[in-house]
C-alpha cells in the first residue's frame, strides 16, 4: 500500500482512515514515513491482539539485525520495552516492585495533594491552558518524585521525550533528535554520579544498587530503564487527562452524567482510554523469522506495529465504537497493550487520570472548552496520540500561537 501515514491530515482524523481500512485489511503493509521502509500494521482487534501475544514478533532489534551498531540504536532500546525473554523478565522485575497496585494506592494522597495545588493556581484565572497548567504537571511531578529526579527539570525531560516519540520527514529533525539524546544521556550521567554518592529512598537509587550488585543490571540497562520511565511518565498520562477532558467536552451528555454520578469515574477512565487513548500505536516489533501471519507472508526483520487506536474502535468488539459511553459494561480495550509488555504503569496512570479529572470537575463544575475544535492540532507521532501544545519554552507561547486545549473555568 502506498499510503504515507505521517501526514497532518492522518493525525487530525485517524479514526476515519481506520474505519475505511479495517474491513479490507486487518493486517496491512503501509508506508509510515516517506523514505523509510514499509511496515506491517495490525488494524483489527483480532490482528492487534494476535501480534501482541505472538512471540515470533520480537522487540529487541539486535535479535534480527545482529550487525546493527550500538550507535544506530537509542539507549532506550536497552530497556524492558525493547527486550525479549529472558532479559525482559529480569529487567521488568527490577522495576515492578515500585508499581504494584498496593504501592500505587499509597501514592493516592500525594497525587490528590498535587492536583489540589494545581487547581488552586488556576482559581481566579478566566482561561487556563489545560495541558500546560494542569494535565502536564500532575503526572510529571509524580513520576519525578517516584524516580527521585528533580521535577524542576521537567521542561528538559519534556523536550527530550518529545524527540523520542515524534517523527518528521525533515532531515534536520534527526540531527535534532541526536543532539537531544546526547543532552539526555549527559544529564543522566550527572544524575547518577550524584545519586551514587547520596542514595535516597527512591526507584533510581534502587536501580543503582541493582547495577552495583553486578549481575542484575548492566550500566547500559540502567540508562535504558531511567530513560524509559522518564519518557513513559511524560508522554502518556498527560494525554489521558487532556484527551479525556476533550472527549467529555465533546460529549456533554456524558460529562453531565459523570458530574451527577461521580462514582462512574472508573468506567469513564476506561472508556476514555478506549475512545482516544494516549498511545495510538504500539512500539516497534520485528518478525523473528519468515512466516505467514493472517494470510500475509512476512520476511525475517520486517517491522510490525499495532494500531491500538484502530483495534479499540473495531465494531466487531465494541458496539458504536465512535461514541464515548462511560457506562459501557465491558471494555477489553488494548490501550495499555497486552501480553508480556502490558503497561507496567497502568495502575498509576489509572489513579492519576481518575484523581485529575475528578478534582477538576469538583473544583470547576462549570468548566467549558473555549477553543474551536477545528483549531486543535494533533501531534505528529506514531506512538502518542495527544494535542499539540506550546511545549517547552513558555516565553514562546504567545509568539507561536499554537492552538491548545483552553478551557473556561468558573
Under the criterion CB under 6 A, does residue 343 sit at the interface with ligand HEM?
Answer: yes
Cβ proximity of 203 and 146 under 8 Å: yes
Under the criterion CB under 6 A, does residue 279 sit at the interface with ligand HEM?
Answer: yes
Using the Cα atoms of residue 235, residue 240, residue 243 and residue 245 in order, give the sign of their dihedral. Answer: negative
| Distance separating alpha carbons of residues 321 and 300, to the nearest angstrom | 35
- Which of 119/142 has CB closer to ligand HEM? 142
Out of 28, 138, 177, 229, which residue is the one contacting ligand HEM (CB under 6 A)? 229
- Which of 23/339 has CB closer to ligand HEM? 339
Using the Cα atoms of residue 384, residue 110, residue 350 and residue 15 in order, give the sign of their dihedral. Answer: negative
Under the criterion CB under 6 A, does residue 111 sit at the interface with ligand HEM?
Answer: no
Q: Rounded to a whole number, what is the distance in angstroms from the first to the last CA of the chain?
A: 50
Q: How many CA atoms lie within 13 A of 338 on its CB side?
A: 19
Under the criterion CB under 6 A, does residue 277 sit at the interface with ligand HEM?
Answer: yes
| Distance separating alpha carbons of residues 70 and 91, to the nearest angstrom | 19
Under the criterion CB under 6 A, does residue 74 sit at the interface with ligand HEM?
Answer: no
Out of 275, 336, 378, 382, which residue is the one contacting ligand HEM (CB under 6 A)? 336
DSSP 366: T
Candidate segments 155-163, 204-212, 255-263, 274-282, binder of ligand HEM by CB under 6 A: 274-282
Candidate segments 16-24, 106-114, 242-250, 334-342, binder of ligand HEM by CB under 6 A: 334-342
Under the criterion CB under 6 A, does residue 341 sit at the interface with ligand HEM?
Answer: yes
Count of residues of this chain found to bind ligand HEM when the rule CB under 6 A is applied: 26
- Which of 75/233 has CB closer to ligand HEM? 233
- The count of other CB atoms within 10 Å of the CB of residue 318 is 22
- Least Å distance, CB 402 to ligand HEM, is 23
Judged by CB under 6 A, the chain residues 280 through 309 that form the site for ligand HEM are: 282-283, 308
Residue 154 buriedness (CB in 10 A; 0-12 / 13-18 / 19+):
buried
* CA-to-CA dists, residue 268 to 262, 342, 351, angstroms: 10, 21, 12
- Least Å distance, CB 280 to ligand HEM, is 9
Please give the residue whose beta carbon sits closest to ligand HEM in the complex.
345
Under the criterion CB under 6 A, does residue 148 sit at the interface with ligand HEM?
Answer: no
Under the criterion CB under 6 A, does residue 141 sit at the interface with ligand HEM?
Answer: no
Angle separating helix axes 265-276 and 346-363, nearest 10 degrees:
110
Out of 233, 244, 386, 390, which residue is the one contacting ligand HEM (CB under 6 A)? 233
- Which of 148/337 has CB closer to ligand HEM? 337
- Which of 139/409 has CB closer to ligand HEM? 139
Q: Which segments within 295-361 are labelled E, that is strand?
A: 296-298, 303-306
Under the criterion CB under 6 A, does residue 131 sit at the interface with ligand HEM?
Answer: no
- Which of 73/397 has CB closer to ligand HEM? 73
- Least Å distance, CB 59 to ligand HEM, is 7
Strands 39-42 and 303-306, by their bridges, are: parallel
Compute φ and ψ for 307, nearest 5 degrees. -85, 100
Under the criterion CB under 6 A, does residue 349 sit at the interface with ligand HEM?
Answer: yes
| Closest alpha carbon to 60 in 374, 279, 285, 261 | 285
- Least Å distance, CB 181 to ligand HEM, is 19
* Secondary structure, 3-state, 22-43: CCCCCEEEEECCCCCCCEEEEC
Output the CA torsion 384→333→107→205 (10° steps).
-60
Candidate segments 107-115, 123-131, 342-350, 396-404, binder of ligand HEM by CB under 6 A: 342-350
DSSP 126: S
Residues that bind ligand HEM (CB under 6 A): 80-81, 92, 143, 228-229, 232-233, 236-237, 240, 277-279, 282-283, 308, 335-337, 341, 343-345, 348-349
Amino acid at each position: 500500500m502506498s499510503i504515507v501515514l505521517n501526514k497532518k491530515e492522518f493525525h487530525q482524523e485517524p479514526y476515519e482512515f481506520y474505519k475505511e481500512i479495517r474491513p479490507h485489511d486487518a493486517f496491512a503493509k503501509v508506508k509510515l514515513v516517506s523514505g523509510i521502509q514499509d511496515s506491517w500494521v495490525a488494524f483489527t482487534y483480532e490482528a492487534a491482539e494476535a501480534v501482541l501475544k505472538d512471540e515470533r514478533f520480537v522487540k529487541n532489534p539486535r535479535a534480527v539485525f545482529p550487525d546493527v551498531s550500538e550507535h544506530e540504536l537509542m539507549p532506550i532500546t536497552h530497556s524492558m520495552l525493547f527486550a525479549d525473554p529472558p532479559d525482559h523478565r529480569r529487567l521488568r522485575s527490577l522495576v515492578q516492585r515500585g508499581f504494584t497496585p498496593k504501592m500505587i494506592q499509597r501514592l493516592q494522597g500525594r497525587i490528590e495533594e498535587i492536583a489540589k495545588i494545581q487547581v488552586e493556581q488556576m482559581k481566579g484565572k478566566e482561561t487556563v491552558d489545560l495541558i500546560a497548567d494542569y494535565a502536564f504537571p500532575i503526572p510529571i511531578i509524580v513520576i519525578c518524585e517516584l524516580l527521585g529526579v528533580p521535577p524542576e527539570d521537567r521542561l528538559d525531560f519534556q523536550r527530550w521525550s518529545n524527540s523520542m516519540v515524534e517523527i518528521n520527514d525533515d532531515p534536520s529533525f534527526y540531527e535534532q533528535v541526536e543532539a537531544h539524546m546526547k543532552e539526555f544521556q549527559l544529564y543522566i550521567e550527572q544524575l547518577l554520579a550524584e545519586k551514587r554518592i547520596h542514595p535516597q529512598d527512591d526507584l533510581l537509587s534502587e536501580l543503582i544498587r541493582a547495577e552495583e550488585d553486578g549481575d542484575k543490571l548492566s550500566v547500559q540497562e540502567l540508562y535504558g530503564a531511567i530513560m524509559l520511565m522518564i519518557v513513559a511518565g511524560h508522554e502518556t498520562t498527560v494525554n489521558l487527562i487532556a484527551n479525556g477532558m476533550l472527549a467529555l467536552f465533546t460529549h456533554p451528555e456524558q460529562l453531565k452524567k459523570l458530574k451527577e454520578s461521580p462514582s462512574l469515574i472508573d468506567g469513564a477512565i476506561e472508556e476514555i482510554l478506549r475512545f482516544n487513548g494516549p498511545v495510538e500505536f504500539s512500539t516497534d516489533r520485528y518478525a523473528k523469522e519468515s512466516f505467514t501471519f493472517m494470510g500475509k507472508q512476512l520476511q525475517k526483520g520486517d517491522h510490525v506495529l499495532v494500531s491500538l487506536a484502530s483495534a479499540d474502535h473495531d465494531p466487531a468488539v465494541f458496539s458504536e465504537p465512535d461514541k464515548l459511553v462511560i457506562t459501557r459494561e465491558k471494555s477489553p480495550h488494548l490501550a495499555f497493550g497486552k501480553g508480556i509488555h502490558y503497561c507496567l504503569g497502568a495502575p498509576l496512570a489509572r489513579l492519576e487520570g481518575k484523581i485529575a479529572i475528578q478534582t477538576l470537575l469538583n473544583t470547576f463544575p462549570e468548566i467549558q472548552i473555549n477553543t474551536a475544535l477545528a483549531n486543535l492540532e494533533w501531534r505528529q507521532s506514531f506512538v502518542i496520540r495527544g494535542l499539540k501544545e506550546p511545549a517547552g519554552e513558555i516565553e514562546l507561547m504567545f509568539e507561536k500561537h499554537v492552538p491548545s486545549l483552553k478551557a473556561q473555568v468558573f
